Structure 1
Amino acid sequence: MRREAMKKESRAPWRPSGEDPLEVLRAAQALVSRGEEDKPPSSEASSEGVGELRDCGGRRKRLGSRHFWGGVVLLLLLLGGGIAYRYREELSRAWSGVTRRRGAEAPRSAAKTIYYCPMHPEYKSERPGECPICGMTLVPLDSPSEGATHEHPGEAAEGTFPPGTVRISPLKQQLIGVAYGEVMFGPVIHAIRTVGKVTYDETKIARIHPKIEGWIERVHVDYVGKFVRKGQPLVEIYSPELVATQQEYLLALRAKEMLGRSSYREIASAADSLYEASKKRLELWDIPEEDIRRIHQRGQPSRTLTLYAPVGGFVLARNAFERQRVTPETELYVIADLSTVWVLADIYEYEVPMVRVGQAATMTTPAFPGKVFRGRVTYIYPQVDNVTRTVKIRLEFPNPGFTLKPDMYANVQVHVHYGQRLWVPEGAVLDSGEEQIVFVAHEGGYFEPRRVRVGPKVGDRYIILEGVRAGERIVTSGAFLIDSESRLKSALQGVGHAEHGRAPARGESKASPQRLPGHSGHEP
């Protein structure tokens, strides 16, 4: 009976009391030590006494063991509670991080993987393989801006920008070579560059013919290329008709002197008329007033008539030799004034609307490197060359010192002034043929595609009529790759819209439909 009671007592669960654990441990240790010291007194004792002593010792050992391990457990619990209280904040943060990772990975694993073609984003498949259009290997669908929405709390959300806006990380920008510029507002001057050829000013070329028939007695200008001044004698011509006319003039002069004092007014008037007619005839033969006065003073006709240069310049052609018979059809000299020269240049058809008569132009020549000649446009020819598809323009340049020679080649620039205009670099505009796009850069690596209306191209710049404002930061290099990224994202957004309409997966509520990662702007 006593053994059964001790067994029941040893099997009963231990309950903590209000005793000090250390005191319990000490008492248990003392009991164990005391039990080891208690040994049977002798072999002659009765079996009943020995059995009672064994039962008592076993009971004490079990009781001490329960108190010992209970104290150990209580001490470990107190130690663990103190450690947990000391590091409670770190454990809380670690647990919340594990919870967020599990929550982020759960929708991703639950969503169905969709594959698409990088070259044809409109083609999508639920199985890996090859694109039937180009044969390219399909890749899993992944948003280009995944994880970027909340990466920087101070930046604007992607949903606040217009459709097509894409975010590119700084590392990716460096890899694709993105460069930035600004929309500028200022004077725009375009220089049309072309080549030209120097030629004579056709309005300053003189062709000299005699007005009487006769023979050349003397030649004063006897070679081509000679420079002559205006009024310089060229040739002397003997003409019997000229001598007769001079004699008529002298007779009319004497008649005027004799009959001019007559009392008959009609006779005096006739004498004056004959004198004026004879003198006028000499003037029409290009006899200078000084020579006529000399004939008047001398009272005798001159044997030869001297022809003088009507303009100053260079002799281009000569057909005057001594003892040569000449008529009014004979061209004796061709003289060109080179104080101004013409330059004939060719421009393309699309440049014709930019050129106006009177526009300023500059010219350089290989013969005089570094020297700039300044002139203006004087004429635009009305026809297009059917071979070169160019239009010829004429420019006029002053030629002091006769530096420019006819038939010289020259490099010409016609300056077109557009005034104060809005412009961007050429590399900033993406022209697809149907529309022109400029990417505007925002804070946080966001790039917004902006449709613009482009004016004429001026060198390496485009005039912008509308679409952007002065001072906006734009992409000047790498815009093509950004455009590809933007178009790919638009295609992926189309896939995201399709995902909104699918049936919810297991464990997914209908109230919160699954989204593609990174597309925070798709609200149901």
Structure 2
Amino acid sequence: VTLERRGKAEPVLTVYAPSSGIVLKREAVPGKYVEPGTTLYEVADLSTVWISADIYESEVAAVKLNQPASVTFAAYPGETFLGTVSYVYPTLNAEARTVRVRLELPNPGVKLKPGMYGNVTLQTDAVNTLVVPKEAVLDTGLRQLVFLDRGEGAYMPYPVKLGRRSQDSVEVLEGLKEGDRIVTSANFLLDAESKLASTSSMQAMMGRIGMGDWQMRGAHEGKMEGMEGMDMANMKGMGMEGMKGMEGMKGMEGMQGMGDTKKIVVAEARQVAGLALMLNTVPEKPKAGNVLLKLTLTDQVGKPVTNARVVFVYSMPMPGMIDPKVTARHTKDGLYEGTALFGMGGTWVVTVNMTVPGRPPIAEKFQFSVAEGGL
């Protein structure tokens, strides 16, 4: 413009920025050749800053434009900066399953610098929902658990479905109801003790039947591999009748019922102190949740025992805790029933405590493999 107006080039040309701000980048140096479109300076107005935040896919529905937000920065401990949501990006990060949102924050004194990292908290509308402290939830990697207080010091692991999270609490969508008592601390210790107890119990049982040094290499329906060299001398009376694929194994001589390979044993019968006990479950293959325990009790001549007091005590177990129990009711002909709540899949031990008038108390342990699901 100056060249057109005056007809000659000016040795010095003054260029003004379109807005005031702070110089973030300088490209202009003495002697540099400048062409049209060359960037000389980058200038930014930092009185208001933008912050990009990634929101989990499950929480996007709660994000709205102009929604209040607060941000904290490690550079300013104890200080909170307030802003609002100015834009929600229309795309999803397929790998992280997150959606990016942009916040606008006033920046008096230019305390916030480009490139800083912070923690963003979005303020949502208050709704009536069931929440628990974050510390009450144990995340196993495959599912989330809480420990229900069953009373008298007994605790039960129970799976839950979670929703939105806040700074110190989490929403429970399924698995709990208002008024349930749960453990709010030391859940990791409870879970670890449960796993250790289950492992040690299994190892002890394997040792008792002569399988302490045996390792199962493969287990398939109708076939068990890697069982060569097993000491079968102590296997009698363990309900092994009808197990398919075990014909001809070392030490199997004299074991009854091995000719029938189709029958699957779903109940266990025992003779204890002149009484015959048979315990089974409904469903026959129990799953996590409510399972009906059915005990048939007869005397040595097969006559139903109808005047016993029967209590089922069940556990995974968890050391140092009182195990859940249920008092069975007599229905008919020596059949006693009670419902147990198996809170999760795994190996459960059911102890049948019986008191029959005129006889000493009896306590017999039965072990069940409980599948996942069914809650």
TM-score band by shorter chain is 0.3 to 0.5
Higher relative contact order (CA 8 A, sep 6+): 1
Determine which structure has more spread, i.e. the larger CA radius of gyration: 1
Greater percentage in helix? 1
Structure number with higher strand proportion = 2
